[in-house]
Amino acid sequence: MKLLAFGKIAEIIGKQEIEIENFPNTDILVGYLQQQYPALKDLKFSIAIDKKQVNGNVSITTGAEVALLPPFSGG
């Protein structure tokens, strides 16, 4: 699957786009990412799968594109 990251999340992960192994659902994916990048634990973000926002724990189909969308405040 493809992971897209924006804003501070991309800074923490070090890339805006990475290919990673498939995860069955968003909770497991987020848990894995927080373990790999502990700084993510302090951040709020929304999740989209294939360009649609999802809420709660949602299953991820093989080859999906998951995006982590942090809030920006600047103006």
Partner 1 sequence: MDRFERQYILPGFGPASQQKLRKTSVLIIGAGGLGCPALLYLSAAGIGKIGIIDGDLVSLSNLNRQVLFGKEDLGKNKAESAAEIIQKKYDDIEVEAIPYFLTKENILGIIQNYDLILDGSDNFPTRYLVNDACLIAGKPLVFGAIYQHEGQVAIFNAKGRHSINYRDLYPIPPSAREVPNCNETGVLGVLPGIIGTWMAAECIKYLTGYGDSLEDKMLFYDLLNHNSYQVQLAKNPDREQNRPKNHSELQTMDYQDFCGLSAQTDWEVALSLLRNTNQSVLVDVRELGEQPELVDIDHIQIALADLPNSRSQLASFQNILLFCQSGSRSLKAVDMLKSQFPDKNIQSVEGGILRYLFD
* Smallest separation (angstroms) from partner 1 to the CB of 19: 16
Contact 16, 22 (CB under 8 A): no
Smallest distance from partner 1 to CB 15, Å: 12
Looking at residue 8, its amino acid is K
| CA distances for 43 relative to 25, 62, 70, angstroms | 19, 26, 8
3-class DSSP state for residue 22?
A: coil
Of 32 and 50, the one with the shorter C-beta distance to partner 1 is: 50
Shortest Cβ distance from residue 28 to partner 1 (Å)? 20
| Binding residues for partner 1 (CB under 8 A) | 4, 6-8, 16, 42-44, 46, 48, 51-56, 67, 69-75
